[in-house]
Amino acid sequence: MNGLWPDDAQCVVNLSFDVDGRSGWILRDGSFADRPGTMTLGEYGPKVGLPRILDLLEEYDIKASFYVPGYEAETHPDIIPSLLARGHEVGHHGYIHEAPAELNEEEERKVLEKGIGILQEQMGEKPRGYRAPSWDVSTRTASLLAEYGFLYDSSLMDDDVPYILQTEKGHLVEMPVQWLLDDFPYYAYNSAAGVRGPDCSPVSVARTWIAEFDGLYQEGRCYILTMHPQLTGHPSRLSSLERTIRHIRSRPRVKFMRLDELARYWLDSHPSTKI
């Protein structure tokens, strides 16, 4: 027992999905909106990948965290209700996948407010979690998130357990992420956009994700895996995710949590971690 996690868990695991759909491609280049090849590449996520992922999560009774750009929520008004009905969490992920580091303060506030407004309208409450598109926050993002009442951010990379971020507007819980535990660097490929990833074998990706889990489990840390329905929603990749889940489940004292639950737990039980 390492004392960090609820229910005497050795390791906490979170599965998270960024439902970027078309938004990330349109943001990358507005002309892509008129290129059906790229638009349908993105659309595969909400249209085909997401339902498959939801079925898999249901089969393993796992509640996950989903980050939905406002544009995707507007253009697919069925997404958020279906996530909430299955007990998943929905967090803020920009309006059209804007990286805060590329915005000035006025623009960053506008995007935050627009995303909050759309999610609040569909969820009946404000989102408590935020994940920066491309994990590319600005130097003011943490302070703005605290100002707008967010509980946590999940964009930074300097730890593998949560920690408290103090800002001039209050504190947030940071739920750290890693490119190593993201499907994008392994699977993303779109020649029209100049994205030519290695298009890795899902078997090798699962091997990498499992090896990282084994290390974090041994040390009693936290395992946060980030995926995209337009990438991981394909059958071969989904079966690799399933293999990863089965491996994780084969270990004793592993607890799957949504990031809002984990952030709340961390805040309530680790006040001494405040800096």
Q: Which residues bind Zn ion (CB under 5 A)?
A: 18, 20, 133
Residue pair 157/135 in contact (Cβ under 8 Å)? The answer is: yes
> From the centroid of its chain, how far is CA 202?
19
- Least distance in Å: CB of 22 to Zn ion? 12
- Least distance in Å: CB of 104 to Zn ion? 21
**Cβ nearer to Zn ion, comparing 133 with 229:** 133
| Strand 189-190 to 195-196 pairing | antiparallel
**Cβ nearer to Zn ion, comparing 74 with 214:** 74
- Least distance in Å: CB of 33 to Zn ion? 17
- Least distance in Å: CB of 184 to Zn ion? 8
Q: For residue 64, is it left (φ>0), alpha (ψ between -120 and 50) or beta?
A: beta
**Cβ nearer to Zn ion, comparing 18 with 260:** 18
Among 242, 188, 186, 257, residue whose Cα is nearest residue 60: 242
Beta bridge partners of 18: 67
- Least distance in Å: CB of 135 to Zn ion? 8
What span, in angstroms and rounded, lies between the C-alpha atoms of 164 and 151? Answer: 10
**Cβ nearer to Zn ion, comparing 20 with 89:** 20
Gyration radius (Cα) of the chain, Å: 18
**Cβ nearer to Zn ion, comparing 18 with 98:** 18
What span, in angstroms and rounded, lies between the C-alpha atoms of 193 and 72? Answer: 20
